[in-house]
Amino acid sequence: MRGKGTDADKTILVVDDEAGVRESIRESLTDEGYRVIDTADGRRVLDLIRSERPRLVLLDIWMPEVDGIGLLKEIKKAEPEVHVIMISGHGNIHTAVTATKLGAFDFIEKPLSLEGLLLTVRRALGEPASVKGNSSKSKAVKARRSRPGSLLQPDAAGELRQKTLKKSVVFSGQGLHSGIKTGVMLHPMPPNSGIVFSGISADVTVPARLDYVASTGYATSLSGKGFVVGTVEHFLAVLHSYGIGNLLVKMQGEIPIMDGSAIEFCRLIEEAGIEEQDEEWSEIVIDRTYSVGDGNGESIRVEPAATFGVRYILNYPPPVGMQEHTYIFHGPESFKEEIAPARTFGFLKDIEQLEKLGLVNGGRLSNCILIDNDRVINTDLRFPDEFARHKILDIIGDFYLLGRPIRGMVTARMTGHTDNIALLREVRKGMGL
């Protein structure tokens, strides 16, 4: 059966042993103009692919007599150009990561959300996929393009372009504060989509924007409609520095801490490759000085400058002492060499209190610089001023919550995530962003 206006390029094969699921998917996708065929028999799938030539297969991971993961391998071996979306009512982020590594385009959970299903199908077929709230924001950005001081004009190298990844990639690790072993799937997105976090069903999405900041205690976390995304700052710093503006990040609970730095995220982005998109993009150009501070030596400000940079000063008791580092952005390579390797750090005397607060449950000797009264006890520093550089890493990540790269010079002294977010709110208010 063909839906109105469909063609062979819009054929989708649904493979699921539950008749109700097949019927629901078939009706929903047919209403959207797709040609849908379905079967409960996993043994017929390869024959149906050869005869019906679907561009996309929705494949249940648990079926009688057939192992969905095994069938996925067979499909990708026999018909590598056919995209496969795995569906399951019993899966988790680890199953999703496994399936994606084996060639699945994506993984979604039952009960299926219509919005999440359609978003995933459209991405798989290379069709425009809008994320709620972003299209109007995109129009607003275009409307403001001529406002003095609000947006950067194209630089000497030419117009700035939006970017996404060339392909989907996955990674896994442990959450620093939750202690949960988690995985993350990164999927390219069309222009004007923004950076969007979701669970594996993609039914609830949380944009990486200032309005969605939920907490800033020891890390920056986002939330929306009950879905929480923890410890986003290191990952966002990499996206900021590489200019990745459109990405779907599917995950569970918290971005993995990796080794406490952002260097693994850099390697992941480079592995996926960066795709320049047709739509223009503009930096936010700071038009005057904005600052926040508590009057006790803690302060952060941003002021107009020719490029983006951060100067950070900290002064802790020994063995840390006073550290200062100034970083000027000269492209992703400068970030990768100077800032990305700098790891998160903590004081042994504070660990007990953090544990009482339910934090650092995933802290390990391998993912945090641990400091006692007179020395670093678990590692050699990568830089003499590694602590100051890590604070710069946090600032770069938090500043991307304005949705676009920044052009301005940040100077901070003894500040953290709460101060960063407070400054961003001042910038947004002052510039009408």
What is the rounded distance in angstroms from the CA atom of residue 214 to the CA atom of residue 224?
9
Q: Is there a catalytic annotation at residue 240?
A: no
pLDDT at residue number 152? 35
List the pLDDT tens digit at each of the 433 positions of the chain: 344 444 567 999 999 999 999 999 999 999 999 999 999 999 999 999 999 999 999 999 887 778 888 999 999 999 999 999 999 877 667 788 888 889 999 988 888 888 889 989 998 998 876 544 343 333 333 333 333 333 333 443 346 899 999 998 988 877 554 556 778 899 999 999 999 999 887 778 999 999 999 999 888 999 999 899 989 999 999 999 999 999 999 988 789 888 899 999 999 999 999 999 999 999 999 999 999 997 678 999 999 999 999 999 999 888 889 999 999 999 999 999 999 999 998 877 766 655 554 544 444 555 788 888 888 888 899 999 999 999 999 999 999 999 999 999 999 999 999 999 999 999 999 999 9
pLDDT at residue number 212? 97
CA angle 324, 325, 328 (to 5 degrees): 155
Q: Count CA within 13 A, CB hemisphere, residue 305.
A: 17
Residue 215: alpha-carbon gap to chain centroid: 17
pLDDT at residue number 147? 34
Interacting residues of 285 by C-beta distance below 8 A, sequence separation 6+:
149, 150, 151, 152, 304, 407, 408
What is the rounded distance in angstroms from the CA atom of residue 427 to the CA atom of residue 276?
28
The full set of domains in the chain, from first to last, is 8-124 (3.40.50.2300), 157-280 (3.30.230.20), 284-431 (3.30.1700.10)
Tell me: cis bond preceding 207? Omega within 30 of 0 counts. Answer: no
pLDDT at residue number 137? 38
Phi, psi of 240 (to 5 degrees): -60, -50
The whole model's pTM is what? 0.79
pLDDT at residue number 200? 80
What is the rounded distance in angstroms from the CA atom of residue 303 to the CA atom of residue 121?
44
Signed CA dihedral, 329, 331, 332, 336: sign only: negative
Neighbours of 71 (CB within 10 A): 22
Query: Tokens at residue 74, please?
Result: 């067979």
Query: Tokens at residue 47, please?
Result: 């024959």
Q: Please, which residues bridge with residue 249 across strands?
A: 186, 197
What is the rounded distance in angstroms from the CA atom of residue 228 to the CA atom of residue 233?
14
Catalytic residue among 177, 325, 390, 417: 417
Query: Tokens at residue 102, please?
Result: 């084996």
In the 8-state DSSP scheme, what is residue 113? P
* Most distant CA atoms of the chain, gap in Å: 74
pLDDT at residue number 364? 53
CB 335 within 8 A of CB 308: no
